[in-house]
Structure 1
Amino acid sequence: MKSLAKFFFTTGLALVAAVLLVVFWPVPLSESKLLVRVPPGASLRTAAQSLNEGGVGVPAWIISGVGRIAGLSTSIKAGSYEFDEGIALWALLRKLSSGDTSQADVLFVEGSTFREMRAKLNGQPELLHITRDMNDADIMSRLGMAGQSPEGWFFPDTYRFDKRSEDIAVLQRALAAMQKQLNTVWLSRDANLPLKSTYELLILASIVEKETGTASDRAQIAGVFINRLRKGMRLQTDPTVIYGLGERFDGNLRKADLQRDTPHNTYTRAGLPPTPICMPGLAALQAVAHPAKTDALYFVAKGDGSSQFSATLDAHNRAVNQYQRGKP
């Protein structure tokens, strides 16, 4: 009997030691810094398989078994997890249950075009680039906006994401953010604006975004464009011409460019251009929804970022001579 008891005691100690070794000894990793993504809705078993397939050198059944014993079966959270060499299985599982994901971010700046936005996404190494080989139309179709130009539809902000997320998911969030902001601003807009839809507000806000050099001028610039729309005057704004020129624009806007007709040239065509010309920020959206009450119909850059506003063409021409041509 004593021998049998000793056997069971020794065996029990060995089992406890083995369990402690498995739980607290560093797990082998295929890389010194390993990144593994656990998919949304993953069970403990699925998460264990993802870890094993992603480079954690412990069988999935052991990972899930230890997780069940630790009571973590229902607390595993989806996301991207980064593990350093030397991490123990226990710490690894606690990381998954606490949602200690590894994240990165991407910044979309006000006034950027969709082409510039795509370049920013493609240059983010922590994303999975499923849109890299798509054209703009394919992307908008994937986002549920088939047939719609992508320009202007994405809200400029910093977007944090789990590493190895798909880039289309970031675009989806930026689109939803713009739709939310645009609808909120539209519902609170001033009465009797010469704008028929949220899309027209978005278009004009993109022009205001590009024309504003000093934040204090933003509502005044919006007021000028609103006044011109009310009077049936052409907007005659250079950024729309530049956008219409596309890659033909070499940084120098010439008189011939102002006369070259494109769908976005507001010198040759009346009303708003057919699409936005960039992604406007919230301040530009609000400026168009609540433009300054002004009689100004013209403005010209003063060279310090601010603008000189005028109510008549004669006053505007004098301002142009003063600030653009250096004449008194």
Structure 2
Amino acid sequence: MYIKKILVIIAVLGIVVLSFFSYHIYQSIFAPNTAFESETQAIYIPSKPNYEKDVLKQLKPLLQDAQSFHMVAKQKGYMQNLKPGKYILRRGMSNNDIVNTLRSANTPVAVVFNNQERLENLAGRVAQQIEADSLSLLNSFKDATFLAENGFKPATALAMYIPNQYELYWNTSADEFRARMLKEYKRFWNEKRTQQAKKIGLKKQEVITVASIVQKETAKVSERKRVAGVYMNRYNNGWKLDADPTVIYAIKLQNKSFDTIIKRVLYKDLEIDSPYNTYKYKTLPPGPIAMPDISSIDAVLNYEKHKYFYFVANPEKPGFHMFAKTLAQHNANKRKYVAWINKMGIKR
């Protein structure tokens, strides 16, 4: 009888211990284990990741119990299956949820860029949004073999990047990003746009070059087709474009200083010997002087048909311009503008 009681006690204790152990295991695997108050938290796992340095170090501040996560990750073989990317953790996730997320839920990021003046600026902007650093991106953008194989030159390389918002994975490499942009460039130049470029007598890269001038001339989308029409009138009639933004670009290129702000073009600037100086040369610039918006590109493709050959900033409507058909009318408009700019004390 005594032995029977002992066996019963042992059995009960065994059940209690087993229940406790099972509960502990269950809690470790399925109980909530997040320590952040926001709805979500993102972690970024780099290419060729190290579990301790790149994963666990990021997770520790986000977890109530990092040790239990480590145990579950080990049991599920996560250390041997690390995957780079951006991963979104949600408040209240269990260790099991977290491991499953890190194994299979690489989340895309929205990569946005617009109006970059040079490839260097573009590389810096994109590097803020994906894993690839700015130097690797810039080297990829400037790769001579890639440019030649795809019909670009160093001066026209910027034309391949159409400003927009694109969905990519955070761990996208520099060359993968470049390949995606080439794909988007080809997609942008659909049959309709391609035929329209032929209709107005420009190649695709020439359209973007003119669009970059339009972009620099006016921030008003509603005015871009009219400004584009002025430049196309000059171009189609064999005139020089006489575009101030190209002179400003030539100055910056000559001085190797693209951070300089130039608000006023002086007569001496018009003598700069640069292929970008459209006051000196009739040809289009060698390439775009900035990255134009899609609205500027489409404004060139569908430029307004009119008889204006001149325009100057309108002092009475900031951001807009006064247009003229004759030089006499333009000179009258120009006097108003010069008087205003002098009054404002703008010398450069």
Match of 2:292 among 257, 280, 287: 280
- Per the alignment, residue 151 of structure 1 pairs with 158
Q: Are the equivalent residues in 1 in contact too, given 2:311–2:323 (CA < 8 A)?
A: yes
TM-score under structure 1 normalisation? 0.73
Report the alpha carbon displacement of residue 286 of structure 1 after superposing the two structures with TM: 0.8
The residue correspondences of 1:92-103 to structure 2 (distance < 5 A) are: 92-93=98-99, 95-96=101-102, 99=105, 101=107
TM-score computed with the length of structure 2 as normaliser: 0.69
What are the Cα deviations for residues 52-94 of structure 1, in whole angstroms up to 9, with x where unaligned?
A: 69766568884375599xxxxxxx9973125589853123145
The answer for the alignment partner of 1:315 in structure 2 is: 329
1:37 paired with 2:41, answer no
Q: CA deviation at 1:255?
A: 1.3
* Within-5 A mapping of 1:48-127: 51=55, 57=67, 62-63=72-73, 65-66=75-76, 79-81=85-87, 88-93=94-99, 95-96=101-102, 99=105, 101=107, 107-110=112-115, 112-122=117-127, 124=128, 127=130
For structure 1, list consecutive stretches of 5 or more residues without a partner in the other structure. Answer: 41-45, 69-75
What is the Cα-based RMSD across aligned positions, in Å? 4.4
Residue pair 2:322, 2:333 contacting (<8 A) in 1 also: yes
Which position in structure 2 is the counterpart of 1:306? 320
- 3-state SS of paired residue (1:325): helix
Range moving further from structure 2, 240-249 or 81-90: 81-90
Check the 8 A contact 2:194/2:204 in 1, yes or no: no
Over the matched positions of the two proteins, sequence identity in percent amounts to 24
Q: Is the 8 A contact 1:49 1:60 kept in 2?
A: no
Give the Å deviation of 1:192.
3.4
Measure, in 1, the Cα distance between the counterparts of 2:217 and 2:20. 75
| Residue of structure 1 equivalent to 2:345 | none
Structure with bigger helix share is: 2
Provide the secondary structure at the position in 2 that maps to 1:300: strand
Structure 1 counterpart of 2:327, one-letter code: L
The alpha carbon displacement at 1:100 in A equals 7.7
Which aligned pairs between 1:1-328 and structure 2 lie closer than 5 A? Answer: 9=15, 13=19, 16-24=22-30, 35-37=43-45, 51=55, 57=67, 62-63=72-73, 65-66=75-76, 79-81=85-87, 88-93=94-99, 95-96=101-102, 99=105, 101=107, 107-110=112-115, 112-122=117-127, 124=128, 127-132=130-135, 134=136, 136=138, 138-141=140-143, 144-145=146-147, 147-149=153-155, 150-159=157-166, 166=173, 173-174=180-181, 176-183=183-190, 186-187=193-194, 189=196, 192-195=199-202, 197-246=203-252, 248=255, 251=262, 252-303=264-315, 304-325=318-339
For residues 13-49 of structure 1, what are the alpha-carbon distances to aligned partners after superposition, in whole Å with 9 as ceiling and x for unaligned?
35523430320357699xxx88342879xxxxx9999
Unpaired segments ≥5 residues, structure 2: 36-40, 60-65, 343-348
Cα separation, partners in 2 of 1:19 and 1:213, compared to 1, 3 Å = closer
CA contact (8 A) 1:263 1:274 kept: yes
Cα displacement (A) at 1:140: 3.3
User: Bigger radius of gyration, 1 or 2?
Assistant: 2
Instruction: Show CA shifts across 1:257-277 (max 9, x none).
Output: 111111211111112101101
Partner SS for 2:147: coil
